[in-house]
Amino acid sequence: MVTDLHVVPARCGRAVRLAKGQAIQIINTHGQQVVDTWCFNADDMSEFMSMEHLHATLQGIFPAKGDGLTTNRRRPILILEEDSSPGRHDTVIAACDVHRYAALGCTQYHDNCTDNLKTALGQINLRAAACPAPLNLWMNIPVGPDGKITWGEPLCKPGDHVTLRAVFDCIVVMSTCPQDMIPINGAACTPTEVHYRLLT
Ligand SMILES: [Zn+2]
């Protein structure tokens, strides 16, 4: 069964409960938006999808279709079941926060993914002890042979989507990254909304 299409507005976060076996399809509506994505055990917020642990599981840094996305207890919480995009998603960069924007020269409050996580969880009366490193869907961070990274633009096209299926009851949180000071959300540096739907 496919449910209605929902929106994550530009620069905002949303938290969604998934039952075991249920899936979420996240759609890059305009094709250039990075979506910071987290996942927590619905019964124990201290267990969460962990990029550091995922690297050990994958023996790499780029998850691909069919991969299990590992928690800090080294078991899959989500399966990357489908990916219509070129499959370039970042797992090495921390969520943006007020400190990141201050370092870029911003002198006033700037929307950020760390606060979006906190707000989105708060809307369903949950709280995380910290902000885990997110799975940055569509964030294109090429890594050179010398280990240096560059800030690329997303490689996907409008309407590309990923499907994440819950291995057990969990909470998925998405943030449409508000980064508008470097071109990780495309050359226009204009964050946009994305959409999602639930699949059973
Ligand atoms: Zn961000």
Cβ proximity of 200 and 166 under 8 Å: no
pLDDT at 1: 67
Distance (angstroms) between ligand 1 centre and the Cα of 113 equals 4
pLDDT at 198: 96
Is 1 within a domain?
A: no
E strands present in the chain: 6-8, 13-18, 23-28, 35-41, 44-48, 68-70, 76-83, 135-137, 160-166, 170-176, 194-199
Q: What is the pLDDT of residues 23-58, one digit of tens each?
A: 999 999 999 999 999 999 999 999 999 999 999 999
Residue 58, Cα to own-chain centre: how many angstroms? 18
Structural domains counted in the chain: 1
Distance (angstroms) between ligand 1 centre and the Cα of 180 equals 9
Distance (angstroms) between ligand 1 centre and the Cα of 18 equals 23
DSSP letter (8 states) at residue 92? S
Distance (angstroms) between ligand 1 centre and the Cα of 1 equals 31
Is 39 within a domain?
A: yes
Distance (angstroms) between ligand 1 centre and the Cα of 32 equals 13
- Domain encompassing residue 49: 6-199
Q: Which residues pair with 103 in a beta bridge?
A: none
Is 195 within a domain?
A: yes
Is 186 within a domain?
A: yes
Is 174 within a domain?
A: yes
pLDDT at 17: 98
Divide the 200 residues of the chain into consecutive groups of 10 and give the mean pLDDT of each group. 88 98 98 98 98 97 97 98 96 97 96 98 97 98 95 95 98 97 92 95
